[in-house]
Structure 1
Amino acid sequence: MPPHREPAPRDRPHSATRQNGRTAPLTAAIAVLVLGAAAMGVALVRSGSGGATAQWFATGASAGASMPPVAPVGDGASVAPAADQQEITMSAVGDTIMSAAPNFLPPNNGKGFFDSVASALHSDLQMANLEQPLTNDTGVSKCSAASLGKTCFQFRSPPSYANILKQAGFSLVTIANNHALDFGAKGHEQTEEALTDAGVKYTGPPGMITTVDVKGIKVAVLGFAPYSWANDVTNISKAEDLVRQAKQQADLVVIQVHMGGEGADHTHVKPGTELYLGENRGDPIGFSHAMIDAGADIVIGHSPHVLRAMEFYKGHLIAYSMGNFAGYHALNSGGVLGVSGVLRVTLRKDGTFVSGSLVPTRMVSPGLPRMDPKKQAITLVNGLSKSDFPRTGAHIAANGAITPS
């Protein structure tokens, strides 16, 4: 199937209610750290858009994520490390489509969809770009009769598939992309409801600042895209204001952004605005640099359906595109379109970059995520980083370690 997809209509407003440009306040989640939890690799995440609950999950030693070390004190109690030494590991993947309902559903109704890449995914904060609504057929679709004769792609999975994300460990997804309204405003609402019911947070709607508490560190995640139902990637000044607001509410600010052209011929990042089918897809370099200048700690890009370069700007990592991660009977897996990876980054509470790695995966027909023994992502991203950003490009070592050049 062709990798290119036409832009979704821009005239449907987002219907979810926001308060003062952000989500409704969350009920504080309280958890008690029991002695010995560090050895279990347990992380605290506050999840669910309405009425947050404390959620503990084991991250697993193989994922490289663990609780901060605890030091014994005189009475046998334990204390956390100094605030400036606290750190978390986050993981992020690119475009994720779990089915093409109603005709193409994965075996076992999606159970175990992400099992083969679980060791790479699990972290303190696991994120994805959800490139489809989770909705029943609403009777309204992007590819309606008016689209006959035109190239049109629309995707959806049943609302129950939000539980597949949750079971795989995803704490948060961005829904700021060109497929969010494939099944209209009602489909968009059902997506939000399904994610909330499953305990998976989401980000992306206008003015939304999504926060999660991870191991005592408050993280704000903002989603951007060039559409009316998302924070606008083309309005950089307004985006800067939102980042500044988020920085006042959280220790770390993470940007998830749909930007840039699409397809196998869009692997390179170039200065200036990018267009796709005549649509303004933002200025990836200008936007990313501006977000970090405004206070963001990391920028993670999506949209091109291919991996792109990584850059360090003022000590902060920018991953310009994470490519196709999963696209069951939906995305083309040929050539570079099938080369993918899991981005893993450890940051301190003050935003300092501690370490990073690119775990190579591949999307195999009919769009399933798998580990890649050939490690194609490492070679591809390292080469693109050197060519597109000779002075600031990240270095990706043979083992996937990400460091400044």
Structure 2
Amino acid sequence: MARAVAFLLLVVPAAGCATVGKGDDPKPTGRSFTVAAAGDILIHPQLTDQAKKDAEATGHGSEGLDFDPMMAGVKPVISKADLAICHFEAVAGEPKGPFQNFPDFVVPPQIATSIKNVGYDTCSTASNHTLDHGEAGVRRTLNTLDKAGLKHTGSARSAEEAAKPLIMDVKGVKVAHIAFATGFNGREVPKDKLWLANEIKLKDIAAAEKAARAAGAEVVILSIHWGREHWPNPSTSQLKLARDIARETGINLVIGHHAHVVQPMEKVGGTWFAYSLGNELARHDVPTGLSEEGIIGWFEFAERGGAWDVQARYVPTLVDIPPTAESVAEVEADDDDGGVDDGDTSDYRLVDVVAALRDDKNLTDKQRARYRVAFERTRGTMLNRGAAKDGLRPLRDLTD
């Protein structure tokens, strides 16, 4: 379990990161813990190529692939959380491949080791790609996560596994993690094996929460795969389901995936909904600018009078993308020195935007401008359903 250590930015009010919101009682009456949750991890071929390049440089990794350098930028945040939740989007393959791209993904299992090394504790595995390779794919994915030391929920290898709620001890609090997906790209869950993957039905979400509570859970967190891809606003169906969940369950926090772009956070009936955390690590065939941006949701739980108060924060992230072969050719044709623009990055890297803007003295002007765009655009998206009134703000601001 990732454990919080002395983390100045999280405890000094002057840094804009106090553990409670303005005007709240600074001394909770009970226990407290932090949760970090980030967006979709979907390994495209370009990222596998980068992991091969990095393994050659570091001499680390497994079977010639090292994803650690790519993900290292978010480790300072993820590793500080008391509970860190990832979303494992695709089916894991064998260490030496072969791997597959869209539409039926098979991704290197080495990514799971890097997910663990960054500081994650558990992953949701319910997505539209869960059944890309049937029951064998589900088994292989969960075996991969087990081997890496990651807990998981949302798909299962047996009815018995599916029926047992995932409950973790987080600083003395029993926290359950449940996960559901809208569908599986037209694939049906076999009627005799409905336990393979959790499909969104309000009654089933409510039943999963009830089962977790009966097993001793004091807090329940839902990962949900929903909405429209590449659409920065929650759909009508998302908004309706959010209100149904807030009204008909006692779930404490809902974190969303699938859109591959950031969508707002909103407090509904006392429950925080992060409609989409965007992509944490992905490289779509046609990057849109939005698809490289994501957030780490940072949630501070405090027990007050027997109830759980949740303060929401966010950390903007960005996947730095090297120029494509086509753009390199264009630059070489136009550039007197025949080289790539000095402002372009040469490697895929997952970046904590605020940390880079504040602390990285080696950023080019082009990188600095791109990171600032990501920060400002993410802030606008986060707040466009009125979350500022409920205290939502960046975990760290550029002016702190």
Task: Note the C-alpha offset of 1:400.
Answer: 5.3
Superposed CA RMSD: 3.3
Is 1:133 paired with 2:91? yes
**TM-score, with normalisation over the residues of structure 1?**
0.67
Q: Which residue of 1 aligns with 2:349?
A: 368
Task: Note the C-alpha offset of 1:358.
Answer: 0.9
Is 1:86 paired with 2:31? yes
Q: Which residue of 1 aligns with 2:377?
A: 380
Per-residue displacement from partner, 1:186-244 (whole Å, max 9, x unpaired)?
A: 122111111112210001025562111111001001101023343222x2122212222
Higher mean Cα deviation, 207-216 or 375-384?
375-384
- Which secondary structure does the structure 1 equivalent of 2:256 belong to? strand
Does the C-alpha gap of structure 1 residues 142 and 339 become closer, same or farther in structure 2, counting only changes over 3 Å? closer
**Sequence identity (%):** 23
Counterparts of residues 212-291 of structure 1 (less than 5 Å) = 212-227=168-183, 228=189, 229-233=196-200, 235-248=201-214, 249-263=216-230, 266-271=231-236, 283-291=237-245
Q: Is the 8 A contact 2:99 2:106 kept in 1?
A: no
More helix by share: 2
- Which secondary structure does the structure 2 equivalent of 1:343 belong to? strand
Does the C-alpha gap of structure 1 residues 64 and 395 become closer, same or farther in structure 2, counting only changes over 3 Å? closer
Question: How many pairs align?
Answer: 308
More strand by share: 1
Counterparts of residues 14-163 of structure 1 (less than 5 Å) = 45=1, 57=3, 59=5, 61=7, 64=10, 84-98=29-43, 100=45, 104=49, 106=51, 107-108=54-55, 109-122=66-79, 123-136=81-94, 152-163=102-113
- Which secondary structure does the structure 2 equivalent of 1:284 belong to? helix
Task: Note the C-alpha offset of 1:284.
Answer: 1.4
Per-residue displacement from partner, 1:45-71 (whole Å, max 9, x unpaired)?
A: 3xxxxxxxxxx7564525739xxxxxx
Higher mean Cα deviation, 371-380 or 289-298?
371-380
Q: Distance in 2 between matches of 1:297 and 1:260?
A: 20
Q: Distance in 2 between matches of 1:116 and 1:391?
A: 27
Output the amino acid matched with 1:209.
Answer: P
Task: Note the C-alpha offset of 1:345.
Answer: 0.6
Q: Is the 8 A contact 1:63 1:119 kept in 2?
A: no
Is 1:204 paired with 2:154? yes
Per-residue displacement from partner, 1:317-355 (whole Å, max 9, x unpaired)?
A: 11000001101x456543222221211111124553343
Q: Is the 8 A contact 1:159 1:190 kept in 2?
A: no
Q: Distance in 2 between matches of 1:176 and 1:288?
A: 18
Task: Note the C-alpha offset of 1:289.
Answer: 2.6
Task: Note the C-alpha offset of 1:138.
Answer: 11
Q: Distance in 1 between matches of 2:317 and 2:50?
A: 22
Per-residue displacement from partner, 1:6-65 (whole Å, max 9, x unpaired)?
A: xxxxxxxxxxxxxxxxxxxxxxxxxxxxxxxxxxxxxxx3xxxxxxxxxx7564525739
Counterparts of residues 295-374 of structure 1 (less than 5 Å) = 295-327=250-282, 329-330=283-284, 332-349=286-303, 352-365=308-321, 368-372=349-353, 373=357, 374=371
Does the C-alpha gap of structure 1 residues 386 and 166 become closer, same or farther in structure 2, counting only changes over 3 Å? closer
Q: Distance in 1 between matches of 2:226 and 2:286?
A: 19
Q: Which residue of 1 aligns with 2:326?
A: none
Q: Is the 8 A contact 2:297 2:313 kept in 1?
A: yes
Per-residue displacement from partner, 1:343-389 (whole Å, max 9, x unpaired)?
A: 111112455334332111112216531122345555435434554x3
Q: Distance in 1 between matches of 2:294 and 2:138?
A: 27
Task: Note the C-alpha offset of 1:87.
Answer: 0.7
Gaps of 5+ in 1: 1-44, 46-55, 66-81, 144-151, 272-282
Q: Is the 8 A contact 1:306 1:324 kept in 2?
A: yes
Output the amino acid matched with 2:377.
Answer: L
Q: Is the 8 A contact 1:358 1:378 kept in 2?
A: no
Output the amino acid matched with 1:136.
Answer: E
Gaps of 5+ in 2: 12-26, 56-65, 156-161, 184-188, 190-195, 323-347, 358-370
Q: Distance in 1 between matches of 2:94 and 2:242?
A: 35
Output the amino acid matched with 1:336.
Answer: L
Q: Is the 8 A contact 1:309 1:382 kept in 2?
A: no
Q: Distance in 1 between matches of 2:115 and 2:378?
A: 26
- Which secondary structure does the structure 2 equivalent of 1:113 belong to? helix
